[in-house]
Chain A
Amino acid sequence: MLVTMVGATDIGRKRKTNQDSIYFDEPQGLGIVADGIGGRKGGEIASSIAVNGLRKAFLNSDRIRHEEVNSFLVTAVDRINQEIIDRGNDETEIAGMGTTMNCVMFVGDKCHIAHIGDSRTYLWYDKHFFQLTLDHNVANFVERGWLPKATLPEGAKDSALVRAIGLTQRCEVDIQEMKLRKGQIFLTCSDGLTGMVEDRQIAKLITDHAHEFEKLPKILIDAANRGGGKDNITVLLSQVKGA
C-alpha cells in the first residue's frame, strides 16, 4: 500500500518550550509522535530519546515482517524506557522524566500502532472519525476496573497518566493493528490538539480539507491555537493512497 505522510509540531501559545517530538519517514512507512510529560524537567529530552530511539531501532533492523512487528516494538520500547531511566539516574536534574509515545508503522497491507500514554491515533474514513487508542489515564483505568478507586492517592486527577515511558522499570505498550483501505487517514497527535479541539471539529476539518492533504497539519494546529493553544501541538497524518 502507498502511504503519504505529512506532519508538524508547534509550541502553542502558552508554553515556553516544545516538549513534543515528531519523526516520520514516508518511504519506510514509519511515523512517531511523543509528548514529554508536562511539569517534569526533561520532558523534552525524554520525548526526543523516545522518537530517536525508535527511529534508530527501526533503521538498524532488517526488513520487518508482520509477525515480527509486535516483538520489535515491545523490545524497542523496553530499550527506550531503560535509556530514559538510566539518563535520569545519571543526571539528577532530569530524574523522573517521562514521555508518551504513539507510533504508526505501515507494513504490507496493515497499519501497526504502538501506544503508551495519552497521545492518540485516530482513523478518518469516508467522513467518519474514530479514536483508535485508549488514553492510559486514571479515568479510563478506573472505568474499566483496571485501577480500583480505593488505591488512588487523594486528589488524583482523571487525566493523570497511568502509563508512560520512563516512569517505571516495567513499561507496557499497547499494540494494535488495522487492515489498510484506500482513502483511510490516520491522525496521530499529542494532547495539545485533542485538548483544544473537539473530535467532531477535527473530523470536520479533515473532511473539508482532505483534498488539500498537505495543508492539514497547519489547519489542525491553527485550530488548536485558536482554541487556546495551552500545550504543545503535534500532528502527523498518514493517508492510504492504494496499492
Chain B
Amino acid sequence: MPKLYLVRRGLETFIGPMPLTELREHWQKMAFGPQDEVAGHCGRWVAIEHTSQLVKTYPDVARALNGGSSWQGDSGTKRLPTAPEAPDAARQGGRRTLGLALLFLTIAVGAAVAAVYLASGGTAFSGKLAQPREPAFGAKEAEALLAGENAEAFLAAMATHEAEFVARAGRSREEFAELIPVLRAYAFLGSGEIDGISPKLLRGTGATTAPTDCSEKIWRKRWRESAKQWKDLTSGRQLVRTHWARLLLWDPHWIRRRESRGWINPLNYHAACINTAHRALLQIRNERSALPGAEPLSLPEVELEAVQRRLQWLVEMSFMSEPVVAPPAPAAEDFLGALTCIEGATSPAAATECRSRFRSTPAGDARSLDGGASAYLDERVGWTLLRFALRSLGAPNAELSANITARFSRLVAGDSQTRLDYLVELRALQASWQLNVTLPQGEAESGADRHDVKLNR
C-alpha cells in the first residue's frame, strides 16, 4: 500500500490524501505552492518552503518535489534540497567519465567559436548569440515605468512580457517576490486577473479578510446576484454579511494608511479590489443599454445610485491624495451616505452630526444578529475618533483620549463587520498617550508584519 500525503492550502482547503506520484503531479501543475503545508500519516504539518524541516520530516516528499516543478528553477535558481540517497559507486564513476567528456567537448567548441570570431574581426555572432543574457525588460524597468506614471508604456511593455514574467515568477520564491508586485500592478490596471497566476497568489497573504478573487468578472457576478439585497444594506435594514456588502463598508482611511508588501500600485489589495468592484458595476450598468434584444438586467435604480456613489467615494479616497468631491449630507435613511459622511468628517463633532442624521428603519434593531446599522455607525464614529487621535500622536488630547478609552475598553480591536484590524493604530495611541485599553497579545504584531502603516495620515 503506498504512503499517502495530505496537502493543506492556506489553512483553508486540502488536496488528497494522495500517493507521492499524484503529489508530484499537483506540484507540477502548481495546484499548491511553497507556502502550503504537507503532512503524512500521523505526522506534523510542514510548510514546503521550510526545506530543511521537509527533508528531515518527509524526505520522500522532498525528493518527489525536487526538480521538474513549475515552482522550482531549472537554471541556477534555488531548488529543494534532495534527501540523502544511498551512495552508488558505479553510477558516480559513470558520471565522472561523462563529465570529463563534456568538459573536453566544451573546450573544443569554445576554441572553434573564438577562432571564427577573431577571423571575422569581431563581427561574427552579432545576432542572437551576442545579445546580453539578462532580459532587457525586467521588474526594475517595469517599476520605473510605473513610478514615472507612464501607464500606457507600462501596459504595452507588460503585454509583451506577461507570459515571460508569469513563467519566471513560477520558477522560484525569489523571482516570485521580485515580479509579483509588477504582475499585480498589471493585473489590477486591467481586469484583475492574469493567466497562470491564481487569484489567491494575486491577493497575497496580507489581506485575508478581503475576497480571494477581485477580478472584474467575479465582481460583475457578485453585483448581478446581489442586486435584490442592495436595499437591505443601503437603507441600513440589515448588515448583509457577504463580500460585496463588506467591501462597501470598508474604511478608506484604513486602506490609505497601509502599504502592503508585494504591492506598488495600488498600495494594497483592498484598494485594487475597490477599483475592480467599481469598474465592474459601471460595466453591468452600461451593459443594460448596450445589449439590444438581450433580456434587460433589472437593477433597483435608487439603490444602484447609492452603491455607485459609495464606490466612487471609496475609489477617490483610496487612490487620490485628497478626496475630489466632499461627501454630500445624507438623507435620513441613507446608511451608506451616513457612512461616507462620517468618513469625510473633518472633526469629531462633524462625525457625530453625520451619525445623528441617520435613522434606522424599525427592522434595523441594534441588537439583531447583524449588529444593526445604528450600532455599526456608532462603531464607525469610534474608528473616526481614532483617526483624529492619530493626527495628534505627539500631543495627547484629554477629551479624545477619554472618549477612545471608553469606547475601546472592552477590547474591540477590529471592525465588527469588515474585520479590518486597527490594532496597530490602537497600539500607537497606547504607546503615545498611555491609553487605558486592553489589547490582545500578538495579533498587532502579525498585522503590522503584513503592512507598513502610515500613522500620520
Q: Footprint of B on A, CB under 8 Å?
A: 71, 74-75, 79, 123, 125-132, 134, 141, 145-148, 151-152, 162, 168-170, 174-179, 199-200, 203
Contact = CB atoms under 8 A, between A and B. Distances in A.
B97 interface: no
Given A125-B17, A131-B39, A170 B441 contact: no
B1 A178 contact: no
B88 interface: no
A126 B369 contact: no
Contacts of B198: none
B414 A127 contact: no
Interface of B: 1, 3-4, 6, 8, 11-14, 17, 39-42, 45, 241-242, 369-370, 410-414, 416, 440-443, 445-446, 449
Given A71-B242, A147-B441, A130 B6 contact: yes
A176 B1 contact: no
A42 B270 CA distance: 41
A179 B12 CA distance: 12
A156 to B, nearest CB: 9
B41 A129 contact: yes
Contacts of B412: 169-170
Nearest to A74: B241
B42 A129 contact: yes
Scoring B241, B412, B441 by chain A CB atoms within 10 A of each residue's CB, the highest score goes to B441
Contacts of B40: 128
Given A71-B241, A75-B369, A169-B410, A177 B445 contact: no
- By Cβ-Cβ distance, the 4 closest A-B pairs, closest first, are A147-B442, A151-B441, A128-B41, A128-B4
Contact of A151 (B3, B442, B449): B442
A132 B443 CA distance: 23
A147 to B, nearest CB: 4
A203 B40 CA distance: 13
Contacts of A125: 4, 17
Contacts of A131: 39, 45
A132 B43 CA distance: 11
B440 A168 contact: yes
B185 to A, nearest CB: 28
Contacts of B446: 145-147
Contacts of A162: 442
Nearest to B6: A130
Nearest to A132: B14
B42 A148 contact: no
Given A152-B441, A162-B442, A178 B14 contact: yes
Contacts of B41: 127-130, 203
B12 A169 contact: no
A99 B3 CA distance: 36
Contacts of A199: 42
Nearest to A86: B367
5 contacts: A71-B241, A128-B40, A145-B449, A146-B443, A176-B12
A203 B11 contact: no
Given A79-B369, A123-B6, A130-B39, 7 more contacts: A75-B241, A132-B8, A146-B446, A169-B410, A169-B412, A170-B416, A175-B12
A64 B44 CA distance: 33
Given A75-B369, A147-B441, A148-B445, A170 B17 contact: no
B17 A141 contact: no
A125 B416 CA distance: 39
Most B Cβ at <10 Å: residue of A74, A134, A175, A176:
A176
Given A134-B11, A199-B42, A141 B442 contact: yes
A54 to B, nearest CB: 13
A177 B442 contact: no
Contact of B17 (A71, A130, A174, A200): A130
Nearest to B14: A178
Contacts of B39: 130-131
Nearest to B443: A146
Interface centre among A79, A130, A162 (most CB of B within 10 A): A130
Nearest to A85: B410
Contacts of B12: 175-177
A203 B11 CA distance: 23
B441 A177 contact: no
Given A170-B411, A203-B41, A126 B442 contact: no
B50 to A, nearest CB: 11
B14 A151 contact: no
B11 A146 contact: no
Contacts of A200: 42
A168 to B, nearest CB: 5
Query: Among A132, A170, A177, A200, which residue has the most Cβ atoms of chain B within 10 A?
Result: A170
Given A170-B412, A174-B11, A178-B14, A127 B442 contact: no
A102 to B, nearest CB: 15
A205 B416 CA distance: 44
A127 B1 CA distance: 10
Nearest to A140: B45
Nearest to B243: A71
Contacts of B440: 168, 170
Contacts of B441: 147, 151-152
B13 A148 contact: no
Given A168-B440, A175-B12, A128 B369 contact: no
B247 to A, nearest CB: 14
Nearest to B421: A170
Contacts of B14: 123, 132, 176-179
Nearest to A125: B17
